[in-house]
Amino acid sequence: MFSPTGLLTLLVIAAVAWRLGTARKSSTLAPLPPGPPADPIIGHVRIIPSSRPELSFQKWAKEYGYDVIYLNLMGQPAVILNSAEAAVDLMDKRGAIYSDRPDFHLFEESGWRDVLTFANGGTPSVANRKILRKALSNRSFRSLICGGHFLRNSQAHLILSVAHGIKITDNNDPFLVLAEKIAWYFAHGGSPGSTLVDILPFIRRLPWWVRIFPSLNFARDNYPIIRQFQEAPFAAAKCPIGSGVSEISFVRNMLEDMQLGTSEESGITEDDIKGAAGTMYAAGADTTLSTLVVWVLCMVLNPEVQKKLAKKSIASLGGTTYQIEGNCPSQIGWCTRQLVVQLGFPHKSNKDDVYKNMFIPKGSLVIANAHAITHDPSVYAEPDQFNPDPYIPTSEGEAGEPLPVGYFGFGRRVCPGQYLGTASVWISIASMLATFRISKELDKNGNEIIPTPGMTTGLESYGS
């Protein structure tokens, strides 16, 4: 009998040998991008921290003097892009090469089905993207928006209302409880594409009683929750009108179009609609909520900035309607620097490529380091300071620093829900600034408690 350690060693050696044996040899003479020294067999796995890896990637880029670095994950090549220039050059301008996704085995093992965010090429991915682009275009999403409450249930309410027509009734609503479990899952699942299940996918064949791999345990333990979340809201959306579900929602509209044969996209199935609706939550509600949580923390720690922004928000809200266009970019641009998605979702290259005389092998994970991009000292004078003023245009007397790019992704993988996400964050922030004063908690003696937050490591990074 092999011990757990011995079994793991054999699995690692077998996996790396397979990767090296099947790797395509390139005729190019260009070197790989620079990176830290690697260990035999396992590559850089040992030196990549499990918590906040984006900080190490940024540090290595500075040390080696390149905005592109190379890592070896047990034979899986990975390329980290630490500047907006590199991300735009590859993911936008060379989208034909860098628009694929790797196989996210952790998410598959967890039970996610037909979610566009996790999908590589193929018919379901194309169908989901088409119907989501239509439903979440800058014009279309407004007809679906329903009201809600702040923070804890506002974003879950918004997405569940838009996608499924579900109305959150109280803080113990079963759909809200389920959504919070999904939020915890995304915040604690590790960096997408870099867990042991993703690197060594054959461990998924192990029986359920084998409990020696934490990431595999995590995926399997959360399987019932993921399946419930994808199935239950969709089933509720199909209920007759008058059963507590709105007659206007993405799911109901798409189902009616499918049944009547009026959909512009032929061949759409119920599974396509279910997957697209699941994508709305997986890619939207949790990132928006975590953005607002981090923003509230920033307001607590920076009361002087809060006062200044409150005056502008009261003025911009004015009248009886929210003015989204025009005000939004200059007002919330500073918030994107406090990104909750610290590493972009991995892309995968589908052919060998050379960038600035650096060789990028076919099949590489290509990841935009959002933290490094939004904290680039060559672009932002004080990247670590919380200060919205530098984004104000030079015509208004400020520095006119560019708004961060890429927080909705790059190239052909840009998020279809960017308009809904931007509007949702803007409305929530402007409303809170205009109506609340956010302050520090007081202890029993009346003294302010200074929060000392940490951040989780996962699909989203939460304050903890």
Residue 333 burial (CB count, 10 A): 17
* φ, ψ (nearest 5 deg) of residue 349: -80, 140
Contact 76, 365 (CB under 8 A): yes
Residue 351 burial (CB count, 10 A): 13
Count of positions (residues) in the chain:
464
Question: Which of 47, 13, 133 is CA-nearest to residue 413?
Answer: 133
Please give the torsion angle defined by the CA atoms of residues 284, 424, 338 and 340, in that order, rounded to the nearest 10 degrees.
-10
CA end-to-end span of the chain: 42
Contact 13, 5 (CB under 8 A): no
Residue 448 is classified by DSSP as: B
What distance in Å separates the CA atoms of residue 168 and residue 148, rounded to the nearest whole number? 8
Helical (H) or strand (E) element with 368: strand 365-368
Residue 190: left if φ>0, alpha if ψ -120 to 50, beta else—which one?
Answer: left
Residues placed in the known binding site for heme: 415
Residue 319 is classified by DSSP as: S
Strand order in the sheet with 365-368: 68-73, 76-81, 365-368, 347-348
Longest dimension (CA), the chain: 74
Question: Which of 180, 227, 223 is CA-nearest to residue 204?
Answer: 223
* Residue reference for tokens 């569940």: 160
* φ, ψ (nearest 5 deg) of residue 46: -70, -30
Judged by DSSP in three states, 36 sits in coil
**What tokens does 237 get?**
């959306």
Residues placed in the known binding site: 415
